[in-house]
Amino acid sequence: MSITQAQADTAIAAAVREARAIGVPMNIAVYDDGANMKAFVRMDGAFLGSADIAQNKARTAALFGFNTEALYEFVKPGGTSPGFDQTNGGLIVFAGGIPVRNGEDRLIGAVGVSGGAVAQDYQVAQAAVAALAADA
């Protein structure tokens, strides 16, 4: 089962609340388990260029089932898979993309956030995923 529209809406709403709380307009993407966009919002004032980054963070997390920053280990200098981030149309390997799992720990989708500093992106994405866990 993939992430539902209601879950995507919950994730977006939680991310928007967190972004407003820290005062940073964000681009927020929710993808399903097939790495297809389920929902997206570009908050007023969010960087236009960050829209693509948020979407690619969500897609990366959905494709591999890991937080995006975990994938940096593969591509960093001396890593085992140089160029890995250039596959699949371009992957994002820094924080802000988090997979979403159901109660059986099955991947159902992912959230990707961009528009602030990397730590802020992660914070907002984490708030989205936490809202889904609390809603379960």
pTM reported for the whole predicted model = 0.95
Rounded distance between C-alpha atoms, residue 135 and residue 75, angstroms:
35
- pLDDT higher than threshold 90 for residue 36: yes
Residues 5-18 have a mean pLDDT of 98
pLDDT averaged over every residue in the chain: 96
